[in-house]
Structure 1
Amino acid sequence: MTLEQELLINQYGQNLVPIETLVEDYNKILEPDDRKMYLNHLVSLIIQSKSEDSDISRAIENSHLRETFTPCVLLKKGGTKYHNLRKIIELPDYELEKALVLFLNLFKIGYNRRFQKEKNNPDKWWYWDLSDENKLDSIKRRTLSENKRGSM
């Protein structure tokens, strides 16, 4: 996942971009393995945001997916633990866009809870105000600088 994609997901968490933007970005990824890598990274963000099992019903409701869709059934049955979220990613390709929408909604609930506690934490850019272009530029410069140091 690129930094731009991760920024978009976090901006979605802050209600700055609509979910359609993320679905469109995801659908530009043509290779199934790359889509699964994207979803794997999204699972990491869900875990990082500390989504809880009690968030599942609201995530399904907010996603406007039917509770009988396979990703929803698996999430309700297995909870928000890493191994269960990974199981959802292994569904057939035709189920993955539903999984994406469900995961994004689950992420957003946990993210909002953490955002209220960690807003503007200087060590966690993903909780900064991502509507501020100066902060976005700072994140990009910082990441570029870290990547340059890591490749030396």
Structure 2
Amino acid sequence: MQTLDNEIKLNQIRQGVIVDAAGEAWFTGLEAAEQKSVLYQLNFICMQAGPTTADVLPAIEHAGLKPTFTPCVMLQHGKLREASSRALQLPSAEYLKLFRLMMALFKIADQRRREFCGAHCQHWWHQDLSNEEILLSIREQH
């Protein structure tokens, strides 16, 4: 899958256009190498949204994960950018937990970013990604 398609899909999950269960099903249907690639991309866009360490516990709760799971422990300690980068090195058995946690963190951080951005935001990822015309326009421009 192309990088833009993955980024659109991740943002559709963030917006709720694709429900969490369907997003997880999509992710688990990928080969391990593609899952890792998606996790790298998710980490990148999540960190661009500006999560803080204060967002980690609510993200763990939102993701329905135990705080003692390895990805959760890693993100709770140290600098968030460094911790999330280290978490990308976890074995494939941890990928789904990391995906769920990073998606929840992305949702929290990006909600704050959208509020900051305001009503006149022009970022494509803040547009209505359920609208096929908008999706077509994004794909044509990028």
TM superposition score normalised by structure 1: 0.84
Aligned residue identity for 1:128: Q
Q: Which residue of 1 aligns with 2:91?
A: 92
Report deviation, 1:120.
4.9
Aligned residue identity for 1:101: R
Tell me the distance in 1 between the aligned counterparts of 2:111 and 2:13.
Answer: 10
Cα deviations by residue, 1:13-36 (Å, 9 ceiling, x for unpaired): 222221122212222221x33321
Runs of 4 or more consecutive aligned structure 1 residues displaced over 3 Å after TM superposition:
none
Cα deviations by residue, 1:28-82 (Å, 9 ceiling, x for unpaired): 221x33321211111101111111111011000001111111111111113421x
Q: Which residue of 2 aligns with 1:58?
A: 58
Aligned counterparts, 1:24-43, within 5 A: 24-30=25-31, 32-43=32-43
Aligned counterparts, 1:1-152, within 5 A: 2-30=3-31, 32-81=32-81, 83-118=82-117, 119-122=119-122, 124-143=123-142
Which protein is bigger by CA-based radius of gyration? 1
Q: Which residue of 2 aligns with 1:148?
A: none
By relative contact order (CA 8 Å, sep 6+), the higher-ranking structure is: 2
TM superposition score normalised by structure 2: 0.89
Contact (CA 8 Å) 1:56, 1:79: kept in 2 or not?
A: no
Sequence identity, in percent?
Answer: 31
RMSD of equivalent CA atoms: 1.6
Contact (CA 8 Å) 1:120, 1:127: kept in 2 or not?
A: no
